[in-house]
Amino acid sequence: MIPRAAAKTLARLAKGYPVVAMTGPRQSGKTTLVRSAFANKPYVSLEDPDQREFATSDPRGFLGNYPEGAVLDEVQRCPEIFSYLQRIVDERRRAGLFVLTGSQQFGLLAKISQSLAGRIGLLHLLPFSLGELKRARRAPRKIELLLFRGLYPPLYDKRHDPSLWYANYALTYLERDVRQLINVRELGTFQRFIRMCAARTGQLLNLSGLANDCGITHNTAKAWVSVLEASYIVFLLQPYYRNLNKRLVKTPKLYFYDPGLAAWLLGIQAVEQLATHSMRGALFETWVVSELLKKRYNQALPANVYFWRDRAGNEVDVLCEDGDRVSPIEIKSGQTITEDHLAGLRRWIELAGKIAVAPRLVYAGSSRYARSGVEVLPWTSFS
């Protein structure tokens, strides 16, 4: 097992809350982590039809089998037990009693807010970060391989072939999660929709254009993006427009959580294709933004990342907010940096004034240096 950065946070939450919940995409390592961290607790998967039927029909009897608590996997499959969990933890008043996992964000969080507010510590677990792979000496040496393979744990723990693994992953996702979340009559149309989203990773979300390209309505496209968000396939990066002029873009950007899945959906079949592929820059940017999210989520902190673009075309790829200070980050997938690459950062710093700190540029090269007051970081050092 490759050690996870979230393990310490998980242990800390279990000491402070009677219930700990971990959410994240399928195959991100949730089950492996909680079973390792709570090896002394019984483990129950609610994907198992028998266990799910028992928990659904007799929640009190089901939970009564675990007086010392348990790990309940894929708990969103049985929403009936949440109110019973509330009664149990209020009666016993013990930290770390139950550990819950789930791969569907919105439904699970809704139940938590209704029944377990104030009683639960929440942690999001995404696929491996580059730092985790480096500490385990399993990190790819070339950026093209990282973008092609992605960072899902099975691709490193068991060394699956990425193309075959992603094909099975997509099929499982469609059959399990999509059918649970919405009534999709034509799964082929939804699959085409996902591929169209992959072609737009790193771009402003244009729901009308996306709907037209897929032959669906605007409202359907909006609902389906929410499905992809709920199951941790994509996230929407919001624009930053506080205390600045009003001539700013206020539409969110669409990103995939994992560049490998996006690359597979784009039809990329070999690492070599990424050297000159038109989507190389978007996939590189997708990876960098996801790394920033992983750092926050592994500490049980909310996302603090935004982007900035004005209507004149000036842009900074990522802004990281920390209190009243904002750190701008520019992302370039090439191996050579020119003065023109710093233009967006300079414009942002000019507008932001004192709140702008520590400007950085992440690129696909190998040297680390400072240029015109900007710290230039190679991709291998970004973790």
**Which of 4-13, 101-110, 221-230, 246-255 shows the lowest mean pLDDT across its residues?**
101-110
Host domain of residue 51: 7-124
Single-letter amino acid code for the residue at 273: Q
Q: Identify the pLDDT of residue 104.
A: 73
Rounded to two decimals, what is the model's pTM? 0.94
Q: Which of 7-21, 75-89, 155-169, 217-231 has maximum average pLDDT?
A: 7-21
Residue 193 sits in the same domain as residue 96: no
User: What's the whole-number mean pLDDT along residues 122-129?
Assistant: 96
Regarding whether 196 and 136 lie in a shared domain, the answer is yes
Decide which of 124, 150, 173 is a domain's last residue.
124
The predicted structure's pLDDT at residue 117: 79
Count other Cβ atoms within 10 Å, centred on residue 42: 12
CA distance 196 to 205: 11
| Radius of gyration (C-alpha) of the chain in whole angstroms | 22
Identify whether the C-beta of residue 131 lies closer than 8 Å to the C-beta of residue 125: no
Across 375-383, average pLDDT: 92
User: Which CATH number does the domain housing residue 44 bear?
Assistant: 3.40.50.300
Mean per-residue pLDDT for 165-194? 82
Specify the number of domains making up the chain.
Answer: 2
Residues 149 and 117 in one domain: no
The answer to whether residues 205 and 113 belong to one domain is no
Question: Average pLDDT, stretch 349-353?
Answer: 90
pLDDT value at residue 311:
81
Going by DSSP bridges, is the β-strand pair 369-371/374-378 parallel, antiparallel, or unpaired?
antiparallel
Q: What is the mean pLDDT of residues 28-42?
A: 96
The Cα diameter of the chain in Å comes to 67
Beta-carbon contacts of residue 212 (< 8 Å; ≥ 6 apart): none
Q: Are residues 204 and 240 in the same domain?
A: yes
Residue 75's nearest CA partner among 112, 37, 33 is 112
Does 107 have pLDDT greater than 70? no
Confidence at residue 66, expressed as pLDDT on a 0 to 100 scale: 95
Query: Residue 106 — pLDDT band, cuts 50, 70, 90?
Result: low
Band of pLDDT at residue 77, cut at 50, 70 and 90: confident
Percent of the chain at pLDDT exceeding 90: 77
Across 205-211, average pLDDT? 96
pLDDT at 189: 87
Q: Residues with Cβ < 8 Å from 259, sequence gap 6 or more? A: 146, 147, 150, 151, 283, 284, 286, 287, 290
Q: Mean pLDDT, the chain, as a whole number?
A: 92
What is residue 245's predicted lDDT score, i.e. its pLDDT? 61
pLDDT digits (tens, 9 = 90+) for 138-148: 999 999 999 99
Distances (CA, A) of 330 to 32, 319, 334: 35, 9, 12
Task: Using the CB atoms, write b or e for 277-316: b if 16+ within 10 Å.
Answer: bebbebbbbbbbbbbbbbbebbebeebbbbbbbbeeebbb
Confidence of residue 244 (pLDDT cuts 50, 70, 90): low
| Statement to judge: residues 79 and 108 lie in one domain | yes
- On the question of pLDDT at 247 being above 90, the answer is no
Residue 2 lies in a domain: no
Do the domain assignments include residue 304? yes
Across residues 105-113, what is the average pLDDT?
Answer: 68
Summarize pLDDT for 311-328 with one digit per residue, the tens: 888 899 999 999 889 999
Task: Answer yes or no: is 82 within a domain.
Answer: yes
Q: Is residue 86 within 8 Å of residue 116, measured between CB atoms? A: yes
77, 101, 124 - which closes a domain? 124
Please report the pLDDT score of residue 171 as a whole number.
87
Q: Is residue 112 predicted with pLDDT exceeding 80?
A: no
Does 80 have pLDDT greater than 90?
no
Whether 225 and 219 have beta carbons less than 8 Å apart is answered as no
Give the domain-ending residue among 60, 90, 124: 124
HSE, CB side, 13 Å, CA atoms: give it for residue 179: 11
Q: Do 29 and 62 sit in the same domain of this protein?
A: yes
Rounded to whole angstroms, how far apart are CA atoms 300 and 87? 25
